[in-house]
Structure 1
Amino acid sequence: MTCTPTTVTFRLLDDVVGWDQDAVADVVGFDDPAGVRLAHAGSSPAGPTRTQLLPWFPDPRLAPGCGPCGWFLLSGERLLRRDTCAGGWRPVWAPYCDPRLLRAPTAVAVRGHRIAVVDSGRVFVWRNEGDHLTAVIALRHATVVALAQDEQLLVAGARSGEIRRYGPDGRLGEVIRPDVCGEIIGVRTGPGRTIWLLTADGDRFNVYRDGVVSSVDELAAALPPSSLSSADEDGFCLREKGPDGDVTSCYDWAGEPRDEPVAASGEFVTEGKFTTHRIDSGISRCRWHRVRVEADVPAGTAVSVAVVVSEDGKFAASDWQTAPAGVTDFLVDQPPGRYLTARVGLSGDSSATPVLHRLRLDFPRSTSADLLPVAFRQDPAADDFTERFLSLFDATTAEIDRVVERYPALLDPAGVPDGALPWLAGLLGLSFEAGWDAPTRRKLIQAAPELYRRRGTPCALKKAIEIVFGVEPVIDELAGDRHWAQVRATATPSSARGLGSVRLFGRSAARLRLGTSTLGGAPLRAFGDPDTDPLTEHAHRFRVLLPAGAADEDAVRRLVVRQAPAHTRGSVRAGGTGFVVGTRSTVGVDTAFVPLPPPVVGGARLNHDGVLRPGPRGARHGVGVGVVSAVGVHTRVS
């Protein structure tokens, strides 16, 4: 659809191709897929900052407890607990039952109903939120403490770089010496006895998981954050969800409310910039065409781009072309030249930063003006205006071309966002239940062609159940249970209606008929034509068998109704607790391979008090596996 007469190319500046940065000031993230951004204030420009880590590693004087509001605070010699009903903080112990053990507490940790406090070379551990003192550990230079899921206690000491693990009774279990840089100022425990550490190496903070450096994103994915949003020397703030949105509550270190919130500014520098090397087009006297900027620009931040073109890489300070503020797509208004140099500036209010993802440089200039007759391009000024004017329409057409080119990606279940999955499923006639997660929906969409091609077959139904519920079912077609012909192990001339080794059952055995059926030998049925019983018995019926507890039977039943053919009728049954002799059982559904109980015959235990050997009327070869043997008939106990 594009109207440009010649082929154009472009050069990308991003983390994959490279930014070609030359002079950099207060900008980081050139190798980060997230994008280029302003540096953090302090000696750790790439972060993370202490403010970022507060939700997972709060101030040692603070500890989140049970529920969103269960916070504990050390204030002087007191341990306070947040009381949302009273609107403030209240002492854990009433004045008449205060144990008065704390002298100068420095750190607190809470998990469930257990509390641990570091105080003057000792570590106290209580149960029932302070009602029962369970352990007192003497440990000098203890700084931070954490409680694990298995009632273990982790204590880190100042300058030692060690973590001591104690049992519920206060006995030392092991000493861990993690290979980390800096002083340990925070300890958290995760699932599977995972230990997360926060260290301070000067002004630089590092996060470790089991001794390996980790990022803030990995920390956030493994541990839920608390509601602590900011903290400084004067107090702290908690941001919690309320009925009308987020509510921020601020307190000083004595537990008293604060009118002014704790400022969160100062996280980023306010300005940063970088300049690229000379970008070579490979074309002498190249007319550079267009610059496009892809960036996230929050409120209070800005991104500015300037370019300069030269033939030999030399230019003056006045030659720069700076795009207007907020413009992310502009034409290059420079003389022809082989080289282009870009200068990017980022600015913010110190609480947020713009994030630059990509710069795209299009060259050489090629517009639909090249298709006009020469008479329209004789005047240089008019020619320049015509090119710039038609570039507006060329850009719109190029966007349409881009949408057309990317249209196949919209049909890729692995590439579309989660919110687009119902729309994509609607194109294929699929419907999702509310409880299905995004990976399950993607697998269903991807398997839709195969499921539609085999729809109505047992393998398609089995595949659908396996995708949605993650369990492999057994599809039992009941038509195979017809008793009109049954293979027998032996056949005798006296067998009724015997044909070789197959015994055929007559109509009198299929349903009760007066004058021909034996009373109690045939079922009583009052529907259908008895002459069509050989064809309709269990016809178009199937059963889905699942292991016990593998999936919700109602959810499986709804899926079976949608996937089964209209003329069939299916049922769903989950496995029981064991194997029942005489009842149809399925291996993996109703059975489990477990050791057999001790063999006992009457009061005699085999291999101890008795031996089975051939009886008076039995075969001479004794008891055989797979051969029917009756105790006392074919065998006897001696």
Structure 2
Amino acid sequence: MTCAPHPATFRLLDAYVGWDQQEAHGLVGFDDPAGLRLAYRGTAPEGPTRDQLLPWFPDPRLAPGCGPCAWYLLVPDERRLLRRDVCGDAFTPVRPPGCDPAPPREPVSVAARGHRLAVVESDRVLVWRREGEQLAGVIRVERPRWAAPGPDDEVLVACRGSTLLRRFDSTGGFRGVLRTGARGEVIGLRTGPGQTVWLLTDDGGRLRIHRGGRRRPFRTATVAELAAALPPSALTSADEDGFCLGEKGPDGPRTTCFTWRGLPRDAAPRAADAYVTSGSYVTTLIDSGISRCRWHRVRVDADVPAGTAVAVGIVVSEDDRYDESDWQASAPGVTDFLVDQPPGRFLRLRLRLSGDGGATPVVRRIRLDFPRVTSADLLPPAFRQDPAADDFTERFLSLFDATLAEVDRVIERYPALLDPAGVPDRVLPWLAGLLGLSFEAGWDPATRRALLAAAPELYRRRGTPGALREAVRIVFGVAPVIDESAADRRWARLREAVGGTPAGSGQAEELGSVRLFGRSASRFRLGGSALGSAPLRAFGTPDSDPYTAHAHRFRVLLPAGSADGAALRRLVERQAPAHTVGSVRTGGAGFVVGARSTVGVDTAFVPLPAPVLGGERPVRLNRDGVLRPGPRGPRRGVGVGVVSAVGVHTRVS
């Protein structure tokens, strides 16, 4: 659709192809598919930062309690433990002064889980139950720093200068040591569901999250894994003057701030700058492979939040010699521009990112198009004789070429909209409407995608037992038994020689093995049928009764509990041919007297229940109970190759 004479060549700069960096300052993410971004401040430029981990690893003086607004606050200089039970504006002492059986001596940190509480001191850990009202035990340990109540009445303790975790029970009994293998010093300890232990360490300024447990080795984890396993607390920020909690109020979300003494605080702490304010990166010489190449276009795929900026500069040369004045800089805020440089084989790109410290731009990819190919190449030579006019014409027509290229990409990607495996879940009903399919409300996206993928084959075989069986298998995950009633119609006819075998047929039917068709029994006839032995029918031809009996009727049979009967019935009605009548039957009702039963649907091969003498339904000896197994051991249902008796090894259920 584009007017360009031939497709242009391009070069990508990203984490997959490579950024070709010659030098970089203040930027990280060269190996991250998410893109380049400004580095974090401090010695851990790629994070995570301590502020990001506050909701899961709060300050050692804070611990979330049992409830959406419950928090514990330790005041070390006053040797007090405060508690906040409701979404109010104040902390109150856990125990009134003078009523504490074991007041904190040199408190270090506090931790809570459920109704248990652990207060870490300089040489011991106090374990409390009932939100600090009952002292459960005292753990004696040297230089404790962190504690975390865990499942099974266990308490984990981390000491200063070590990443080993010591295990105790609530009464102070030693249970063993948990080796983490982590480097650095523990600055955060949490326990999660399934006896999972989460550890935050500081290794020379680099923060690392570790995940492990008693039966699984410790490994490093990401913030996303931590957030998926443990719900974040309401703690939003903390500094040397206090902390803030983001909670739900009666009028919507609200932020409540406190000092480290538990008093209300009006001003929220200012968020510390997480990122450096500037960073740059310069590529090596990018070779086009074309002598005196006319580079065409530079496109930057980036997210630029408010307060940040992305600036791109390029220089083109035939060799590695150029001046600083030769650089071409993009206009502020422009991430797509044409190259205005003399022809040259090599190009060098300079990227500069800036921000306010609270946010960072992210550059995912940079695309360099070359050589210059525009629709101006299709114009007569008269339009390109003047160099100035030629340059203006190329730049002017490049605007239209870029728009047409966007349309081309939409057309090229249009087949992806018809791929059931690639479209989002919300597009599946729209795609089903194009194919004439209708979905049940309870079908999950995987079932809908499987139906869309199988739609061409199901439409080709629609109305056949195979197509109906496949549709039921996709939706309900079990293959049904389709019983066509016409196959049970075994009207016999007399042969020339009873017991003979006519040519081209199977064995001859014998009297006594099949039922002869009688006209007087198919429908009532005057003078030929007995009262009550034939049905009254006012339609059809009596002579065609042998051929229309059970015609165009079928049953769909499924085991008990494998499908919803109503949903299965609706699916069968949509898939069955219009001239047929289908019925649905799921197991669970047992044998039906006078009707055909199917093994696995209406039957269950199970042993008899254990006999119990007495009670509401006592067994009777020599009739329906076995007091002890026989010499061959207990019978466990029907045995293959062994004679089984009805009522002894089988039962009707």
Distance 1:171 1:518 in 2: 91
The residue aligned with 2:350 is 343
8 Å Cα contact 1:585/1:591 also seen in 2: no
8 Å Cα contact 1:545/1:589 also seen in 2: no
The residue aligned with 1:545 is 558
The alignment partner of 2:264 has SS state of coil
8 Å Cα contact 2:521/2:529 also seen in 1: no
The residue aligned with 2:643 is 626
- Residue 219 of structure 2, aligned match among 212, 215, 239: 212
Distance 1:588 1:283 in 2: 74
Q: Return the letter of the residue paired with 1:72.
A: Y
- Residue 137 of structure 1, aligned match among 129, 136, 139: 139
**Per-residue deviation, 1:517:** 7.9
**Per-residue deviation, 1:431:** 4.0
**Per-residue deviation, 1:391:** 0.7
CA RMSD of aligned residues (A): 4.1
Distance 1:569 1:241 in 2: 58
The residue aligned with 1:621 is none
Q: Return the letter of the residue paired with 2:44.
A: S
The alignment partner of 1:52 has SS state of coil
8 Å Cα contact 2:523/2:537 also seen in 1: no
- Residue 153 of structure 1, aligned match among 155, 161, 165: 155
Q: Using structure 2 for the length normalisation, give the TM-score.
A: 0.80
Whether 2:604 is the aligned partner of 1:587: answer no
Unaligned runs of 5+ in 1: 487-492, 612-623, 632-638
8 Å Cα contact 1:462/1:472 also seen in 2: no
Whether 2:333 is the aligned partner of 1:329: answer no
Q: Return the letter of the residue paired with 1:472.
A: V
**Per-residue deviation, 1:585:** 6.4
The residue aligned with 1:36 is 36
Distance 1:93 1:505 in 2: 94
The alignment partner of 2:34 has SS state of coil
- The aligned runs of 1:591-606 (5 Å cut-off) are 591=604, 597=610, 601=622, 605=627
Whether 2:441 is the aligned partner of 1:424: answer no
The answer to which of 285-294 and 591-600 deviates more is 591-600
8 Å Cα contact 2:287/2:346 also seen in 1: yes
**Per-residue deviation, 1:48:** 1.2
Distance 2:45 2:98 in 1: 51
Q: Deviations over 1:495-522 (max 9, x none)?
A: xx97353356979999999997899xx9
Whether 2:199 is the aligned partner of 1:197: answer yes
Cα distance 1:336–1:571, how it changes in 2: closer, same or farther (>3 A)?
same
8 Å Cα contact 1:456/1:564 also seen in 2: yes
The residue aligned with 2:104 is 102
The residue aligned with 1:501 is 513
Q: Return the letter of the residue paired with 1:479.
A: S
**Per-residue deviation, 1:540:** 3.5
The answer to which of 386-395 and 46-55 deviates more is 46-55
Q: Using structure 1 for the length normalisation, give the TM-score.
A: 0.82
Cα distance 1:558–1:98, how it changes in 2: closer, same or farther (>3 A)?
farther
Q: Deviations over 1:549-572 (max 9, x none)?
A: x66666556555555555666666
Q: Return the letter of the residue paired with 2:511.
A: L
**Per-residue deviation, 1:383:** 1.2
- The aligned runs of 1:232-251 (5 Å cut-off) are 232-241=239-248, 246-251=253-258
8 Å Cα contact 1:143/1:155 also seen in 2: yes
- The aligned runs of 1:49-60 (5 Å cut-off) are 49-60=49-60
Q: Return the letter of the residue paired with 2:514.
A: V
Distance 2:414 2:548 in 1: 51
The residue aligned with 2:323 is 316
Distance 2:603 2:74 in 1: 57
8 Å Cα contact 2:202/2:208 also seen in 1: yes
8 Å Cα contact 1:72/1:79 also seen in 2: yes
Q: Deviations over 1:539-595 (max 9, x none)?
A: 6353453554x666665565555555556666666665x977979465389747679
The alignment partner of 2:454 has SS state of helix
Q: Deviations over 1:278-326 (max 9, x none)?
A: 0001111111110001011111111111100011111111111000111
- The aligned runs of 1:224-623 (5 Å cut-off) are 224-241=231-248, 246-433=253-440, 435-457=442-464, 459-468=466-475, 471-472=477-478, 474-475=480-481, 477=483, 479=485, 499-503=511-515, 535=548, 540-543=553-556, 545-548=558-561, 562-563=574-575, 576=588, 584=597, 586-587=599-600, 591=604, 597=610, 601=622, 605=627
Aligned residue-pair number: 605
Distance 2:537 2:99 in 1: 80
**Per-residue deviation, 1:172:** 3.3
Unaligned runs of 5+ in 2: 213-217, 493-498, 500-508, 612-618, 634-640, 649-653
- Residue 89 of structure 1, aligned match among 66, 88, 91: 91
The alignment partner of 2:416 has SS state of helix
Q: Return the letter of the residue paired with 2:34.
A: A
8 Å Cα contact 1:230/1:262 also seen in 2: yes
The answer to which of 32-41 and 524-533 deviates more is 524-533
**Per-residue deviation, 1:156:** 2.1
Distance 2:70 2:451 in 1: 42
Distance 2:288 2:19 in 1: 15
8 Å Cα contact 2:243/2:257 also seen in 1: yes
The answer to which of 143-152 and 530-539 deviates more is 530-539
Q: Deviations over 1:409-464 (max 9, x none)?
A: 22223333344333333323344455555444433433333343344455545544
Distance 2:159 2:535 in 1: 83
The alignment partner of 1:305 has SS state of strand
The residue aligned with 2:8 is 8
The answer to which of 158-167 and 416-425 deviates more is 416-425
Distance 2:472 2:585 in 1: 13
Distance 2:536 2:105 in 1: 87
Q: Deviations over 1:91-121 (max 9, x none)?
A: 4446686545433443333333333333343
The residue aligned with 2:63 is 63
Cα distance 1:421–1:483, how it changes in 2: closer, same or farther (>3 A)?
closer
**Per-residue deviation, 1:536:** 5.9
The answer to which of 410-419 and 11-20 deviates more is 410-419
**Per-residue deviation, 1:24:** 0.3
Distance 1:587 1:328 in 2: 66
Report the identity percentage: 58
Cα distance 1:201–1:595, how it changes in 2: closer, same or farther (>3 A)?
farther
